[in-house]
């Protein structure tokens, strides 16, 4: 027997339509490329997105077309997403930090017909447009007065394009499994692979994010959305915020400590989401200036492991709760979130912190397990660790164009490429990415744990650990440190500091100091580059 409920397809156009009806006046504040601040609201975003849809249709864009966006977080970028998805076209986020060959590959693979581009990236696309033959036209996201003199193919100013549209466009009305967004993930081997979100997966993930067990996105909050829209679907905030009616503040290109502070303070943001690097820059700025964060009550940190020092500093010095989350492009992206559950609510601070520092528990839409090399399930005892696998309605079941073949096992599990443990309370902890874990004498050393421990040293601005080949032990850890400005410390200082914090055999064989650690396109430490940089480095113990 079937239930007697309406067939109401979960399509994302309904999210911004809901915002238009229920909280049209809630603001969206954007930092523009020139540093100025502009304001709009969900009502206006809805109206303009509809005109954009109509203009796109007049220019021949149809259901299923892929359209690139190379833009910072700003209201025009958000309008573009909704203008595309309302008519069943697909936003394809392009990370501006991609290497040229990757950009050519990705745009060609997706066969993007247009690219919407922020002013700051016009020169990049001018330089590469010859290698992007599928792109018929470039839309520059700027006011008419700012429209640059550009040789981009059939360049049009975004505001002129909107003016070409009418209000009477038809949105939605298609299957909720229709493709909605495309985001390529770096992929450890071979070419980048396209993760193709559906309207249904985006809607379910956003509903999840509004729930208390995940990000608790609410109308009462104001969110500084630092995580870029080109990074793993902006952690679903572009959908969850209009769904809940949360005021959005978008930092555009300026993500240094001072600029982030100005927006947090000036817009009275209560919540924010970003990778640890951004928070390190903010905390350094606060330390230097003595500024405080009276409005902010929580920050969501993910993308790479949150160092203990960041969580403690936010807690103790600023009264800001850190919510640690794990996910990946393929998981839309929230996989787990670390909240204080009743069983740990009354634990002493340090003990509770060790749970909060784990990557967390899975929300309803994510099933997760760990298994050993033979695919046998491992216990949730907090000790055993193995391949982390996930299953759910917002998790990839393949890559765009069939790249990478079948990515699920016989029971539908997706192997994340991460190694993790899960404790009896359901808190998952990432040991490492399987390719970064250091294999020493048949045992594993977690580069993440070592980095986090080293980050507690007062002179450490940033730390990374890689495994280097070792004739006896297979691999041994090398600790690479960037010191804070004006601070000094020796290798011995770091090993002394680590001595009572890690197992003896985990001690890095050497500590090197560098001016800068390389970061990948999503702002994470690039271990690939570090391994290349230190490939001829000889450890002193050899
Ligand atoms: P990329 O490969 O370009 O970094 P993703 O953004 O999809 O692509 O990265 C997902 C990966 O980032 C995860 O598989 C995991 O290794 C790492 N990651 C994400 N969040 C965390 C976290 N909180 N702690 C540790 N690692 C994390």
Q: Are 193 and 399 contacting, i.e. CB atoms less than 8 angstroms apart?
A: yes
Give pLDDT tens digits for 273-300. Answer: 999 989 999 999 999 999 999 999 999 9
Looking at the domain assignment, is residue 301 inside a domain? no
Q: Which residues of 43-72 are buried (b: 16+ CB within 10 A; e: fewer)?
A: bbbbbbbbbbbbbbbebebeeebbbbbbbb
| Nearest CA owner, ligand 1 atom 11 | 328
Any catalytic annotation for residue 38?
Answer: no
> From the CA of 303, how far away is ligand 1's center (Å)?
5
Which one of 207, 232, 255 terminates a domain? Answer: 207
At 542 the pLDDT is 63
Instruction: Output the CA torsion 462→466→468→473 (10° steps).
Output: 120
- Contacts of 262 by beta carbon, 8 Å cutoff, 6+ apart: none
| Window from 159-173, 267-281, 352-366, 441-455 with minimum mean pLDDT | 441-455
Q: Whose CA is nearest to atom 16 of ligand 1?
A: 433
Residues counted in the chain: 542
Residues contacting residue 7 through CB under 8 Å, at least 6 positions apart: none
Answer for the pair 171, 50: CB distance below 8 angstroms, yes or no. yes
| Structure token pair of residue 450 | 């070592």
Nearest in space to 228 (alpha carbons), one of 11, 521, 27, 529? 521
Whole-number Å distance, alpha carbon 432 to ligand 1 midpoint, is 10
Q: Which residue's C-alpha comes closest to atom 3 of ligand 1? A: 186
390 in a domain, yes or no?
no
Ligand 1 atom at minimum distance from 329 CA: 7
Encoding tokens for residue 403? 């790249």
Assign 153 a pLDDT band (cuts: 50, 70, 90): very high
Q: Give CA–CA dist 217/231, Å, rounded.
A: 19
Report residue 56 CA to chain centroid gap. Answer: 28
Q: Is the CB of 524 under 6 A from ligand 1?
A: yes
In a domain, 251, yes or no: no
DSSP string, 105-150: HHHHHHT-SEEEEEGGGHHHHHHHGGG-TT--EEEEES-GGG----
CB-CB contact of 279 with 305 (8 Å): no
Distance 328 CA to ligand 1 centre (A): 5
Does any domain span residue 258? no
Q: Which atom of ligand 1 sits closest to the CA of residue 324?
A: 23
Cβ–ligand 1 distance for 303 under 6 Å, the answer yes
Pick the catalytic residue from 27, 444, 495, 524: 444
Q: Is the CB of 97 under 6 A from ligand 1?
A: no
Mean pLDDT over residues 92-116, rounded? 95
Q: Does residue 399 fall inside a structural domain? A: no
State the average pLDDT for the chain. Answer: 95
Nearest CA to ligand 1 atom 21: 304
Check residue 235 and give its pLDDT. 94
Strands 66-70 and 90-93, sheet pairing: parallel
The answer, yes or no, to whether any atom of ligand 1 lies below 6 A from the CB of 150, is no
Contacts of 74 (CB under 8 A, 6+ apart): 30, 31, 32, 38, 118, 141, 250, 252
- In-domain check, residue 22: yes
- Read off the pLDDT of residues 408-417 as tens digits, 9 standing for 90 and up: 999 999 999 9
- For ligand 1, is residue 185 a contact (CB within 6 Å)? yes
Q: What is the largest CA-CA distance in the chain?
A: 72
Provide the number of structural domains found in the chain.
2
Contacts 24+ apart (CB under 8 A), 200-203: 200/9, 200/10, 200/11, 200/176, 200/393, 201/332, 201/393, 201/394, 202/12, 202/233, 202/236, 202/239, 202/332, 202/394, 203/10, 203/11, 203/12, 203/14, 203/15, 203/176, 203/239
Q: Which residue, of 164, 181, 207, is where some domain finishes?
A: 207
The answer to whether residue 384 sits within a structural domain is no
Please give the pLDDT value at position 390.
98
- Evaluate: CB of 329 within 6 angstroms of ligand 1: yes
Cα separation, 321 vs 271, in Å, equals 10
Domain presence at residue 529: yes
Give the active site residue among 185, 312, 403, 501: 185
Give the residue numbers spanning the domain of 489: 438-533
Atom number in ligand 1 closest to CA 231? 6
For a ligand 1 pocket test, name from 194, 215, 327, 431 the mutation site with the most ligand atoms within 8 angstroms of its C-beta.
327
Q: Is the CB of 232 under 6 A from ligand 1?
A: yes
- CA–centroid distance, 523 to ligand 1, in Å, is 11
Q: Is the pLDDT of residue 487 over 60?
A: yes
Q: Domain holding 525: CATH number?
A: 3.30.300.30
Whether 501 is catalytic:
no
Residues 6+ apart with CB under 8 A from 429: 358, 359, 382, 420, 421, 422, 423
Is 185 marked active-site? yes
Rounded average pLDDT over 249-256: 96
Cα distance between residue 257 and residue 286, in whole Å: 8
pLDDT, tens only, 164-212: 999 999 999 999 999 999 999 975 557 899 999 999 999 999 999 999 8
Ligand 1 neighbour 519 (Cβ under 6 A): no
305 Cα: distance to centroid of ligand 1 (angstroms): 8
This prediction has a pTM of 0.92
Rounded CA-CA distance 480/98 in Å is 24
The alpha carbon of 5 and the centre of ligand 1 are apart by a number of angstroms equal to 38
Domain final residue, candidates 207, 226, 259: 207
Q: Cα of 39 to ligand 1 centre, how many Å?
A: 32
Question: Which CATH number is 76's domain given?
Answer: 3.40.50.12780
CB 305 within 8 A of CB 431: no
pLDDT band at 162 (very low <50, low <70, confident <90, very high): very high
The helix or strand, by DSSP H or E, that contains position 380, with its residue range, turns out to be: none
Q: Residue 487: exposed, middle, or buried by beta-carbon count in 10 A (0-12, 13-18, 19+)? A: exposed
**Measured from the CB, is residue 433 less than 6 Å from ligand 1?**
yes
Read off the pLDDT of each residue in 362-390 and give the average, rounded to a whole number: 96
User: pLDDT at residue 375 above 60?
Assistant: yes
Which amino acid residue places its CA nearest to atom 12 of ligand 1? 303
Give the alpha-carbon dihedral of 41, 44, 48, 49, to 10 degrees. 60
* pLDDT tier for residue 522 given thresholds of 50, 70 and 90: confident
Give me the catalytic one of 330, 451, 462, 475: 330
Distance 524 CA to ligand 1 centre (A): 9
At residue 124, what are phi and psi to the nearest 5 degrees? -60, -50
With a cut of 90, say whether residue 348 has pLDDT above it: yes
pLDDT in tens, 27-41: 999 999 999 999 999
Given ligand 1 and candidates 95, 325, 326, 431, which is best to mutate, with the most ligand atoms within 8 Å of its CB? 326
> From the alpha carbon of 432, which atom of ligand 1 is closest?
16
Mean pLDDT for 411-431 is 96
Average pLDDT over residues 229-252: 96
CA 388 to centroid of ligand 1, rounded, Å: 12
* 326 counts as catalytic: no
How far is Cα 358 from Cα 338, in angstroms, rounded to an integer?
A: 7
Closest atom of ligand 1 to 186 CA is 3
């Amino acid at each position: 027997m079937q239930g007697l409920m309406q067939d109401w397809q979960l399509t994302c156009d309904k999210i911004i339509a809901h915002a238009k009806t229920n909280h049209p006046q809630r603001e969206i504040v954007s930092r523009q490329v020139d540093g100025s601040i502009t304001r709009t609201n969900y009502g206006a975003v809805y109206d303009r997105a509809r005109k954009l849809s109509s203009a796109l249709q007049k220019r021949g864009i149809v259901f299923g077309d892929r359209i690139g966006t190379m833009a910072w977080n700003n209201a025009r970028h958000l309008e573009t997403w909704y203008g595309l998805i309302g008519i069943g076209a697909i936003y394809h986020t392009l990370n501006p930090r991609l290497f040229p060959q990757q950009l050519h590959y990705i745009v060609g693979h997706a066969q993007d017909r247009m690219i919407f581009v922020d002013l700051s990236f016009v020169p990049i696309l001018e330089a590469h447009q010859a290698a992007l033959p599928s792109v018929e036209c470039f839309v520059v996201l700027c006011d008419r007065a700012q429209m640059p003199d550009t040789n981009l193919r059939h360049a049009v100013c975004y505001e002129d394009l909107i003016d070409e549209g009418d209000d009477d466009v038809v949105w939605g009305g298609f299957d909720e499994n229709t493709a909605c967004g495309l985001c390529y993930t770096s992929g450890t081997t071979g070419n980048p692979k396209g993760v193709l979100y559906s309207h249904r997966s985006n809607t379910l993930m956003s509903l999840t994010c509004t729930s208390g067990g995940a990000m608790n996105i609410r109308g009462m909050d104001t969110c500084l959305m630092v995580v870029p829209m080109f990074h793993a679907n902006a952690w679903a905030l572009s959908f969850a915020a209009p769904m809940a009616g949360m005021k959005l503040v978008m930092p555009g290109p300026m993500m240094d400590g001072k600029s982030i502070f100005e927006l947090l303070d000036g817009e009275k943001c209560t919540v924010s989401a970003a990778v640890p690097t951004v928070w390190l820059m903010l905390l350094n700025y606060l330390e230097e200036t003595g500024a405080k964060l009276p409005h902010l009550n929580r920050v969501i940190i993910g993308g790479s492991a949150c160092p203990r020092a960041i969580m403690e500093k936010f807690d103790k010095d600023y009264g800001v709760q850190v919510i640690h989350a794990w996910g990946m492009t393929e998981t839309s992206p929230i996989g787990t979130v670390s909240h204080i559950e009743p069983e740990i609510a009354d634990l002493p601070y340090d003990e509770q912190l060790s749970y909060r520092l784990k990557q967390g528990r899975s929300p309803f839409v994510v099933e997760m397990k760990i298994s050993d090399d033979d695919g046998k399930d491992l216990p949730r005892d907090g000790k055993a660790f193995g391949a982390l696998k996930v299953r759910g309605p917002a998790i990839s079941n393949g890559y765009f164009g069939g790249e990478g073949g079948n990515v699920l096992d016989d029971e539908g599990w997706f192997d994340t490429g991460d190694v993790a443990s899960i404790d009896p309370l359901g808190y998952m902890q990432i040991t490492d990415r399987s390719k970064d874990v250091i294999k020493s004498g048949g045992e594993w050393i977690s580069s993440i744990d070592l980095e986090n421990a080293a980050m507690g040293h007062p002179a450490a601005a940033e730390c990374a650990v890689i495994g280097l080949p070792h004739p006896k032990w297979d691999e041994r850890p090398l600790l690479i440190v960037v010191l804070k400005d004006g601070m000094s410390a020796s290798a011995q200082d770091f090993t002394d500091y680590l001595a009572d914090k890690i197992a003896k055999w985990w001690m890095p064989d050497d500590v090197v100091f560098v001016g800068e650690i390389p970061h990948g396109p999503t702002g994470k430490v690039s271990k690939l580059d570090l391994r290349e940089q230190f490939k001829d480095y000889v450890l002193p113990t050899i």
